[in-house]
Amino acid sequence: MEYKETKIEELLSEIVEGEDITLSDIPDMDLYMDQVITLFEKKLKHQKRVEEDKIMTKTMINNYAKAKILPPVKSKKYNRQQLILLTLIYNLKQQLSLTDISNLFQPTLKDIQGEDNRLPSIEELYDTYLELKRGEKLAFKEDYIKLSENIREKSKKFNASEPELTELLLQVSMLISRANLEKKMAEKIIDEYFLTSASNSHKDPSV
């Protein structure tokens, strides 16, 4: 495909302006699994890489339940808290294993089930997460533009017949490099503060 600056801007806008499932999108009434899947497909279809991709499936939800990331379902219906957890799982599983997500969610699940009270409500956590995410999207746009300009400047030393292709290759390489650093940092935080050892000891995140 021919390189066009306007097309890159369109792709960047798709990433930054894509909607999330908000608290107002989540009904107060409990939903059956098919209704849950429909909600995710409707609200997050813009996140598909290809049209055939599935945002959420029965198999995925069952796997999350087996991994004990979701509280037990009652009467085959999912409540508001479980729907919020599913949205968080959807975002986290892009980079983290189910084991890491399970360890990360243990304090939250204990709080939901009334075994702990160290955290704010799952609704408050999720609303704050979305607020922070909106700010990060704007910061990402600014960082990407600066990265592109830096790469373009450094690429002037190359005697390439297709300079734009060289720039795109470097852009992708740097984006993945940043993603790798962020993933490693997330994993280190989980290992240090959320990981439950074989002896079932748990490190208090407040320490």
* pLDDT, tens only, 48-94: 999 999 999 999 999 999 988 998 899 999 999 999 999 999 999 99
Per-residue model confidence (pLDDT) at position 207: 36
36 in a domain, yes or no? yes
Over residues 142-167, the mean pLDDT reads 92
131 in a domain, yes or no? yes
Q: Which tokens sit at 182?
A: 């962020």
Query: Of all residues in the chain, what percent are helix, strand and coil, respectively (each to 5)?
Result: 65, 5, 30
Distances (CA, A) of 75 to 43, 97, 104, 118: 25, 28, 27, 29
Number of domains in the chain: 1
**Taking all residues of the chain, what is their mean pLDDT, rounded to a whole number?**
90
Does the structure show a pLDDT above 70 at 1? no
19 in a domain, yes or no? yes
Does the structure show a pLDDT above 60 at 199? no
202 in a domain, yes or no? no
Confidence of residue 115 (pLDDT cuts 50, 70, 90): low
pTM: 0.87
Per-residue model confidence (pLDDT) at position 197: 44
Domain extent at residue 36: 5-194
